[in-house]
Structure 1
């Protein structure tokens, strides 16, 4: 008789008609005890790592976009100190910007202003620290959720990229609605992975309404996934949060603009239905975001784009389809949609930054699966071992390039923040002084860096013919003012430049 080998558990293949459950870390074969699927990352380690690098970002990050200064730091400064610059978007005639987002940060800014008094620079960094804490919480949930679902390795890779890639390091402490949407994307994805669909939809709705309304497209996949998991609870959660936040936004806008309006609706109407003229503020080619994302993530972005190709491998497909593929799909949806828009800015990609880290980490983690012999339980062939060795090499390359870019940006462009701090040592200029700024107006770091002895900051005509911000005018109503010198055509106003240069 012929002696037959005893059937092993891994020989049994499910039939095509048998139901298959979603992949989790316990389904992953052993990887030789090198930190594979059966071990979780610890909350303490994740929070410490993220906290350390977010604190470094708080202290060292520059202001990358003048919109951050004039559309967010300046209105916050006005609410705290009754002085600051107003842009045309904050004119009550247009009311395109939500004060709900501003007062959310004023919850930290107000007590910080009480605590630090006249030291406005410390208030600035207190608000930034709040941004860093939000980032730590959201990203920590994402890393832990990945660990519980897919194992320690992919979670660890994601953690390192969230901490050290230039994009995440710099965006995490920027005072921008798209940054808030980025936090929401991390947290909503984490909650969906943790099988909390109602919470995932609620956070997604918050990211869109409090943060950036246009990011709604990026949240569609995680929202649909959550609705499919628990339609009733997820729908009710999303509906209640959406209606509540929209109502609160309208009330807040009414309080500040002194008329019934919705800044969320106004922004959508201006850019979508109203024939918005965002092209007046710059037009870029279709590859702008590809170039920009590569600058901020280098080869991690390339690997994130290539991730769908890994699904051709059955072992990878079994791990990551459908859940992870759904969660990272906003990378491709958002990139394609935004690349079609004529007006492009770096911050518009912020909502998908965490997902780029996840997709790149999944690609790196799956490298050995390309060469693994499916008939061998623990394949230790030379090519598989080489693929495992390459994983930390690739990760190290990504982090090294990212560190170089981050250091270069901070070293090369931090001068405005540092120079304006020195104004504190020039009180001999006298109380009531006028600080004049010329062609570097777009590098103005905000009124938080202007000491109290300076009565006003004014622009000097350097030939720029676009519309510049002007101070909030309390005599016209402050936040409720609709000054005649503002327009939505980006045309310079006669009042925006100081004519008496002797007063500088």
Structure 2
């Protein structure tokens, strides 16, 4: 249960007050409450165990409910993982030994528990998928608890409580927490490395930053820049920094290069290849689309609503407090605000300037958005106390009427966004689950193999873990999409053989397409439109039988703001729906599988 912490007796603690057991002046009443004096004011906050239970509940909900919102997660992580476990899966050009932008070490690191579970229990593949997701949920929850306790230590329990609540109910954390993506792993490492930094555990902070940068995403090193500034320029601790950089290279990077080189069949340093492609090529990732400068503002509001706006003005809010509110100087043991929250703004500046933008690129700093949102709310409370109250007890006792509506509104918006995502876009997961149900119930034709095809819906395929067994193969039929689609790994030495018909320019490869007559089943979205290469298959009743149909939100015909947040009754009445359909061919043609 939430409790009030007892006074610490360690004289070296940064939370021991220097001016005696009682508040000496009115100036001190506007100072933030730290864990050491929280009990004095009857303030309660969740213990680490309570926080973990709450967070774990929210993250398990994400693991079970959340759909895969990025095809990169499917084809660059779930599919190679499926290949490593079952010998069959899709390969993208990033996994070609010719380019080698992705790391098999990262997959192994993440999937070891799933390998063990599969060997011991031999469960259905769908169980493996959700088992792995739940493991990610547990890992994220543990990292969030450490971050929460670190925020309480550095900024006080009130900011810590706000940060925890914002993380619990934000749609951004819901989406990122159970995603099998390097950016999600970097988010976990951000919470641990920044948390270690706030605890002044510099060795651990450097190592975890290196783990995030080498193992998952090299650009995550940007988050470690303020830690380096603190160590090199403020503390002059050159030897410790250099020592732990070398240790990190030896423990993480060198084994990683060795493992990846064995898989690719040649010397490979995947983090370096990613940097080369994204920074030093003429096109970089811009081939995959560019977005306007305000993309992250809109996306941030969808995922964090007013918390994100608050986080954008945190530096201004803290400056206003320093000028208008008379408080004692911040304890020297604490980091300067300008340094402790710098990782968020450094990240936002760099990634906003990049033309190619994606939602997952902000995953690593999502917890820092919640932290800065909490700091802004705390600053507004102090300003309100200074301008309108001026005297009385601690500022928190006079500003609760500001906090409760803020927490309620932001939490409600977060939950309504999560419900909108589930109700509007979960249909692909449910549709592919139907295949396992049909297999278990024996409602399938007597064939040795089954081809399930996708056209325009290729990017919503949730992964081969949703195909019941090795008799099933996914085939692509031509659609209006003109980019490069993945292809199956070679059955022999698939990770080290350079595949043919593969490029790094996102150019269409016609060899990817199968003939429609090879399809036993087809998954398609019916929104009552059609084109030459995207006919309305659901209306071709002479060729296809409807097996399963699930409502799916039609983005094109639904108002942007209406579809963004779930409002009961209004949402159901005004949202325009399409049908996500599983179709079965009327004539099962027995032809050789392309796999």
Q: TM-score, normalised by structure 2?
A: 0.76
When residues 26 and 167 of structure 1 are mapped into structure 2, their CA distance, relative to the original with a 3 A threshold, is closer
- Relative to total residues, which structure has the larger helix share, 1 or 2? 1
Contact 2:35–2:153 under 8 Å retained in 1: no
CA offsets 1:234-280 (integer angstroms, 9 cap, x no match): 43223311343111121111111010121111111111123343111
Partner of 2:505: 489
Partner of 2:163: 158
Q: How does 1:371-410 map to 2 (within 5 A)?
A: 371-373=384-386, 379=392, 387-410=399-422
CA offsets 1:153-182 (integer angstroms, 9 cap, x no match): 211111111111000111011010011111
Contact 1:289–1:339 under 8 Å retained in 2: yes
Aligned-partner Cα distance in 2 for 1:27–1:360: 23
Aligned-partner Cα distance in 2 for 1:286–1:348: 14
Alpha-carbon offset, residue 503 of structure 1: 4.3
Q: Gapped runs of 5+ residues in structure 1?
A: 1-7, 15-21
Contact 1:63–1:445 under 8 Å retained in 2: yes
Q: How does 1:68-107 map to 2 (within 5 A)?
A: 68-107=73-112
Q: 1:207 is matched with which residue: 204, 212, 216?
A: 212
Q: Gapped runs of 5+ residues in structure 2?
A: 1-21, 521-595
Partner of 1:10: 24
Deviates more, 1:420-429 or 1:95-104: 420-429
Aligned-partner Cα distance in 1 for 2:309–2:122: 47
Alpha-carbon offset, residue 40 of structure 1: 6.0
Aligned-partner Cα distance in 1 for 2:476–2:161: 48
Aligned-partner Cα distance in 1 for 2:372–2:330: 13
Alpha-carbon offset, residue 12 of structure 1: 11
Partner of 2:53: 48
Partner of 1:348: 361
Aligned-partner Cα distance in 1 for 2:36–2:450: 69
Is 1:479 aligned with 2:486?
no
Q: 1:339 is matched with which residue: 341, 352, 377?
A: 352
When residues 31 and 362 of structure 1 are mapped into structure 2, their CA distance, relative to the original with a 3 A threshold, is farther
SS in structure 2 at match of 1:366: helix
When residues 500 and 390 of structure 1 are mapped into structure 2, their CA distance, relative to the original with a 3 A threshold, is closer
- How many residues align? The count is 484
Partner of 2:261: 254
CA offsets 1:79-119 (integer angstroms, 9 cap, x no match): 00000000011000000111111111121220122244250
Aligned-partner Cα distance in 1 for 2:26–2:129: 61
Partner of 1:19: none
Q: 1:293 is matched with which residue: 295, 300, 304?
A: 300
Partner of 1:280: 287
Partner of 1:3: none
Contact 1:61–1:410 under 8 Å retained in 2: yes
Aligned-partner Cα distance in 2 for 1:500–1:167: 39
Is 1:309 aligned with 2:316?
yes
Partner of 1:25: 34
Q: TM-score, normalised by structure 1?
A: 0.89
Contact 1:145–1:194 under 8 Å retained in 2: yes
Partner of 1:241: 248
SS in structure 1 at match of 2:314: helix
Contact 2:73–2:179 under 8 Å retained in 1: yes
Aligned-partner Cα distance in 2 for 1:473–1:290: 42
Partner of 1:359: 372
Aligned-partner Cα distance in 2 for 1:171–1:317: 39
Pairwise CA RMSD: 2.7
When residues 232 and 453 of structure 1 are mapped into structure 2, their CA distance, relative to the original with a 3 A threshold, is closer
SS in structure 2 at match of 1:478: coil
Contact 1:146–1:190 under 8 Å retained in 2: yes
CA offsets 1:47-90 (integer angstroms, 9 cap, x no match): 11111111111111111100000000000000000000000110
Contact 1:192–1:222 under 8 Å retained in 2: yes
Alpha-carbon offset, residue 410 of structure 1: 1.2
CA offsets 1:123-147 (integer angstroms, 9 cap, x no match): 0111111211221121110111122
Partner of 2:17: none
